[in-house]
């Protein structure tokens, strides 16, 4: 094989990034089943330096046998079970490094016939992305919101990921998370999961604390927006449902 070409769907890989590759041969015209070991290629580390380079060269079985290619990121040397790989997003994602470390990418290119060209694998985000926007309501100015402390509540941060399908299942206990502050919003990578009527977002401004209750399903490879209008006084919480693959719904509202 002359090479593997992998890419994320909305961002570039960086120098030194490492992915794991599995190659599963066909049996005649039937696709093989990916297993933890015993595949044509098992968890081969590829390193990015402008192009992708394997730890050791890999080759096709022969000139005619097709194969499925599986790719995941970030690379881990020891995979105990490809059907239930344990991964956790960071509880504190306020730093760029912790935010990036919470991303998990997966992709598959199926039924590739032997070729001298690089095999292209497009990987997608297994996690969900939550974007939180703050708007000044009654009693606040935009300048006041710069002092806000944002906490994401009531979500699980552990997951088991099936590397044969790229599906993640939330695991463990619910905890609190700190998102990364950006120029116009707060952002966090979230394990795909459904929650109902939970205290989802807590906003602290000085002595005041505001909590948004919400029911939402976080989906893999989707961005979910939540716009919060923060009021010092109001007649209650008015949940506005309006508005990676982008979720068109906005799961925000007014808090007081």
What pLDDT, on a 0 to 100 scale, did the predictor assign at position 7? 63
CA quadruple 18, 164, 246, 51: dihedral positive or negative? positive
Query: Residue 115, Cβ neighbours under 10 Å: how many?
Result: 10
At 38 the three-state DSSP class reads coil
Query: Binning pLDDT at 50, 70 and 90, where does residue 50 land?
Result: confident
* Domains contained in the chain, number: 2
Residue 158: which of 86, 107, 76, 85 has the closest Cα?
Answer: 86
The whole-angstrom separation of Cα 51 and Cα 72 is 16
More confident residue, 84 or 243: 84
What is the CATH classification number for the domain harbouring 79? 2.60.40.2620
Note whether 121 and 137 are same-domain residues.
no
145/165 same-domain check? yes
Most confident stretch, 6-15, 36-45, 205-214: 36-45
Cβ neighbours for 255, distance < 8 A, ≥ 6 positions apart: 203, 210, 211, 212, 228, 229, 230, 231, 234, 237
pLDDT given at position 207: 86
Q: Answer yes or no: do 34 and 112 share one domain.
A: yes
249 contacts: CB under 8 Å, gap ≥ 6: 224, 225, 241, 242, 243
Selection from 174, 239, 232, 161 nearest residue 203 by Cα? 232
Residue 50 Rama label (left phi>0; alpha psi -120 to 50; beta) = left
Domain assignment of residue 41, given as a range: 4-94+103-125
Q: Assign residue 196 the CATH number of its domain.
A: 2.60.40.2630
65 shares its domain with 143:
no
In this structure, of 3-12, 15-24, 163-172, the range with the lowest mean pLDDT score is 3-12
- E-state strands within 97-207: 105-112, 119-125, 128-136, 149-162, 167-177, 180-181, 186-190, 193-205
Shared domain check, 108 and 187: no
């Amino acid at each position: 094989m002359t090479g593997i070409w992998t890419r994320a769907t909305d961002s570039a890989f960086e120098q030194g990034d490492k992915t794991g590759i599995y190659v599963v041969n066909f049996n005649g015209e039937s696709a093989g089943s990916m297993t933890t070991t015993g595949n044509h290629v098992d968890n081969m580390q590829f390193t990015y330096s402008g192009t992708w380079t394997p730890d050791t060269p890999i080759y096709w079985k022969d000139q005619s046998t097709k194969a499925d290619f599986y790719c995941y990121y970030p690379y881990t040397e020891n995979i105990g079970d490809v059907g239930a790989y344990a991964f956790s997003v960071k509880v504190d994602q306020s730093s760029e490094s912790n935010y990036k470390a919470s991303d998990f990418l997966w992709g598959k290119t199926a039924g590739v016939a032997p070729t001298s060209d690089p095999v292209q694998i497009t990987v997608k985000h297994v996690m969900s992305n939550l974007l939180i926007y703050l708007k000044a309501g009654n009693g606040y100015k935009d300048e006041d919101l710069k002092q806000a402390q944002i906490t994401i509540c009531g979500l699980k941060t552990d997951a088991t990921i099936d590397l044969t399908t790229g599906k993640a299942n939330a695991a463990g206990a619910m905890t609190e998370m700190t998102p990364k502050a950006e120029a116009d919003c707060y952002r966090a990578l979230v394990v795909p999961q459904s929650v109902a009527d939970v205290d989802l977002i807590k906003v602290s401004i000085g002595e005041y604390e505001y909590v948004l209750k919400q029911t939402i399903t976080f989906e893999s490879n989707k961005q979910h927006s939540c716009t919060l209008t923060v009021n010092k006084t109001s007649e209650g919480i008015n949940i506005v449902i309006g508005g990676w693959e982008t979720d068109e719904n906005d799961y925000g509202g007014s808090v007081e």
